[in-house]
Amino acid sequence: MNRARLLEDQGLDHEAHIDAGEILARLREAVPLVQCITNSVVVNFTANVLLAAGASPVMADVPGEAGECARFASALLVNLGTPTSEQRQAMIEAVEAARDAGTPWVLDPVGVGALSLRTTFARELLAHRPAAIRGNASEILALAGEGAGGRGVDAADDVEHTRDVAVRLARETGAVVAVSGPVDLITDGEWTVRVPGGSALLTRVTGGGCSLGATAAACVAAALAEGRPALHGAVAAHALHAAASETAAAEWGGPGGFAVAFLDALAAIEPAALSARELRLEPIGGAAAAAR
């Protein structure tokens, strides 16, 4: 099968280009409701990021209502930043309900590898089939059983070194795997997209990475609603954060002002600006491998 036919069969254009601007436009039109069971340190910032991007956050993270919410939400984020016993119970309840209802959900395995409780729990969650997994290189390696994790939430591994493991994890779980770094790497096990750009100031703001998981959930929901693969949504989320952080960093050199400017930039960015970014699909091992 030739490469153009492969792209056509997967709903991709013959230029192998993902139009992130179309995903953003759909998100703002639909205003997806994103349930966040997330790190207690980043709740406020995550909610503000979703609002700025054009989505609607709901922080339903207690047992008894987490599953109920997951059934009608557009998407669900499960972030393991502060996995209390009550929150873990809510997460199980929510992902089971999401699976039953067909609600796409994103796993952010914060600190996996470095800490044993969350590492074991994250691997248990994989059985509930997330639509996407987002983490730094060390977290993705540890989740796949190939590394010991980083220093807390900080990565100690290189993104490109993670490529083959990310591909394998995507194939084993059926999830899109997104690895954050200086150049983000995103794969569905058959295709890989690299998203360059962004500002390092995002790493100096509490919630810079965690909020990306929420945006990914919103964008995946928007992509799936358009009949596009989840890969498109994950790529669009990374492109959106990269573009907004570049704009914010150009205005502010420190993390305090940058955090506010980042929210403003998310709200102000036009879909056309994302459409102009080069987001090209690369087949894993060539078209022959993608045909398997």
Residue 207 assigned ligand-binding role: yes
Tell me whether residue 163 is annotated as binding: no
Could you tell me which of 176, 253, 180 has the C-alpha nearest to residue 217?
Answer: 176
Distant-in-sequence, close-in-space partners of 190: CB < 8 Å, separation ≥ 6: 10, 283, 284, 289, 290
59 labelled binding-site residue? yes
Residue 180 known to bind ligand: yes
Residues making up the annotated binding site for ATP are: 134, 180
> Residues comprising the binding site for substrate?
59, 207
> Binding site: residue ranges?
59, 134, 180, 207
